[in-house]
Chains A and B, each alone.
Chain A
Amino acid sequence: MIYGDRNTGVIVTGATGKQGAFHIALMNEYARQVGGKGVVAGVTPGKAGQEVAGVPVYNSIRDALKEHDADASVLFVPGFAAGDSIMEAASAGLSLVVAITEHIPVQDTMKAISYARIHECSVIGPNCPGLLSPGEIKMGIMPVHLSSAGHVGVISRSGTLTYEIVDQLTRAGLGQSTIVGIGGDPVIGQTFADVLTRFEQDEKTRVVVILGEVGGSLEEEGARATDLPVAAYIAGISAPPEKRMGHAGAIIEGGEGDARSKIARLEKIGVPVASRPSEIPRLIKELL
């Protein structure tokens, strides 16, 4: 387990919306199964005094922390409010924010991540499914019944593709230590490199699956920096070329974002890359 365990208390921001309420219930159902603390409070400005799925709601994270112990916040707020919610959590002293929200303006994300870094708060996401350490804690929206406890770490830019791979690992008898969805947006908080650093210090994790996508070069930057054995799958080999961000985008990324060149660079540094998701369990068994 990395980022948290069964003793981690969670605050859900955006608790009173449809998704917030639905997933507080699921997170706490999992917490009951594993004997964890789970979601201890919800936050929605102006909704103090309400209760959602048995959890009390407060106007602010500071108010919630007066009554409860918590270390992390999980966001279900709309895109326009998410940057603000990340900064509020960091400012209140939480060490982790898991931002499920999609459609956050990218400059909001960039400012919030810079601000969170000043407060030594890590941000997972945005536009991500959160994380799951089987048998310990779930922070986010991952379906738990596909997972099983074990020694494979999973890091993914995708949501549902992660569930697909986790399902296949479980069916092949390969349990997971922690599954982290780092998010599909152009700018995200924790990257492959950051999560790999945590996995290196985690005694449960022996091997890591990287699930990447077209665009950027975070996959190979992470794989290059770690000593752990890594296998990868990159989605988007059949995708039409990405809309280019003018000259500046091409210069920044050096034309390196497409799936084929990303796969070639991963293979060059010795990372086996699956040509379809169902090959991942075999590659992992070879690495163990």
Chain B
Amino acid sequence: MKLLEHEARGIFEKAGIPHPRGFLIHSPGELKARIGELGERCVLKAQVDVGGRGKSGGILVADKKNAEQMAAELFKKEIKGVPVREILVVEYLEIAQEYYASIAIDRSTKQALILFTDQGGVDIETLARERPDAVRKASIPLLMHDIPPFMIRDLLQSAPKEIGKILNQLYRVFCEKDALLAEINPLVQTPSGIYAADAKLIIDDNALARQGISYNRDLTEREREAEKHGFSYVELKGEIGVIGNGAGLTMATLDLIEYYEGRAANFLDVGGGADQERVMHAVRLVASDPSVRVIVVNLLGGITRCDEVAKGIISAGIQQPVIVRLAGTNEAEGRKILDGCGYRMMESMEQAVKAAVEAVR
């Protein structure tokens, strides 16, 4: 789950990372009372979780005099469809030099990857593509408590030494918060010191519970309903509902629908060990989408038992036809239960998908 800037900033602050003075407001009135804390100019930053926030008008520079008026206008706006409910107001910084620092999970080395560049202020992805040497990298095994000094020297080279301390503070946050990404973009040099001018933190969804986060904001209402039952669910634009077990098989089912020129209405992976009740909820959830005209259930039992699945499909009691392909643990029992209730059982995934595509033609 991605944290909002002000949430990440609060965590960075506790770790000791220096940042510009500022405060969060929920209405323009709050700004009036506190604007005196920030000097002649300030920056208004809409707290919305969208990419390209600055380019979409979510970040504004204001003078002391017009700040309240500009905040009022920003509160009325939507940034890429997201209403502005909170604004982070920070002091305006005189920037002499911009840096970029991040720590992320690297699949191929199975370690954390620290990225640093002193060529900040440009699009960092373009820089990495066009001048790979300008973005310096260091891999660190998570068994390390600190970033060793040699790595800091390699990363910083001629950049100010005090950034080394900030990198270590960022690493501490990355580890303690179960982050997938901790990023400062930009980290800025000003006449009065170095500050994190932005803060980004993505927390591992599998670690939300132990981080004390009970509610995953990144999900839509329907996806949250799906998550409650332990499904991963994505809504798509077609009319063939899809239920599979395992992300790979479910994805392959969608790919096969596309191959036969059909259109899938959703991706729903019931996960491992789906029992009767979960399968029933999955079938009902998919069927509740009005664009779904037929449902393909493609399940191979490993940790999932076919007899449980069959009972789940039947107890869902939905209107749309269900085309079933079942194989694996307790397959014979599952087949017997479905046969007895008149469901269409297919021998292969290919047959099941073809039948579904034909059914909506």
Binding site for B on A (CB under 8 A): 18-19, 23, 26, 79-80, 100, 102-107, 110-111, 113-115, 129, 141-143, 145-146, 156-164, 167, 184, 186-187, 211, 213-218, 221, 233, 235-240, 245-254, 275-278
Contact = CB atoms under 8 A, between A and B. Distances in A.
A141 to B, nearest CB: 5
Nearest to B259: A276
Contacts of A164: 249, 252, 300, 349
Nearest to B306: A143
B256 interface: yes
Nearest to A158: B248
A207 B103 CA distance: 39
Contacts of B267: 239
Contact of A107 (B175, B249, B252, B349): B175
Given A107-B175, A213-B248, A249-B181, A114 B124 contact: no
B105 A143 contact: no
Contacts of B249: 158-161, 163-164, 235
Q: What are the 6 closest A-B residue pairs judged by CB atoms, nearest first?
A: A158-B248, A160-B246, A161-B248, A160-B249, A105-B207, A248-B104
Contact of B247 (A213, A217, A247, A249): A213
Given A247-B183, A248-B183, A252-B113, A110 B108 contact: no
A251 B125 contact: yes
A288 B195 CA distance: 61
Contact of A105 (B204, B246, B272): B204
Contacts, number: 191
A213 B348 CA distance: 21
B72 interface: no
A251 B185 CA distance: 14
B267 to A, nearest CB: 8
Interface in B217-264: 234, 236, 244-249, 251-252, 254-259, 264
Interface string B101-133: 011111110111101000000001100110000
Given A160-B248, A161-B246, A217 B108 contact: yes
A246 B251 contact: no
A287 to B, nearest CB: 21
Contacts of A106: 105, 180, 204, 206-207
A81 to B, nearest CB: 11
B251 A143 contact: no
16 contacts: A19-B303, A26-B329, A104-B206, A105-B204, A114-B141, A115-B143, A129-B303, A159-B302, A160-B245, A218-B108, A245-B202, A246-B200, A248-B102, A249-B104, A276-B350, A277-B252
Nearest to A163: B300
A245 B302 contact: no
Given A79-B206, A235-B255, A159 B248 contact: yes
A127 B246 CA distance: 10
A247 B102 contact: yes
Contacts of A107: 105, 142, 175, 178, 204, 207
B282 interface: no
Nearest to A140: B302
A237 B255 CA distance: 6
A186 B105 contact: yes
Interface string B283-309: 000000000000000011111100000
Contacts of A236: 251, 255
B328 interface: yes
A23 B256 CA distance: 31
B108 A160 contact: no
Contacts of B141: 110, 114
B111 A156 contact: no
Interface string B145-176: 00000000000000000000000000000010
A250 B125 contact: yes
Contacts of A159: 245-246, 248-249, 272, 302-303
A245 B142 contact: no
Given A143-B302, A159-B248, A186-B105, 15 more contacts: A80-B210, A103-B206, A111-B142, A114-B143, A142-B302, A158-B248, A158-B249, A159-B246, A247-B124, A247-B125, A247-B183, A252-B106, A276-B256, A276-B350, A277-B349
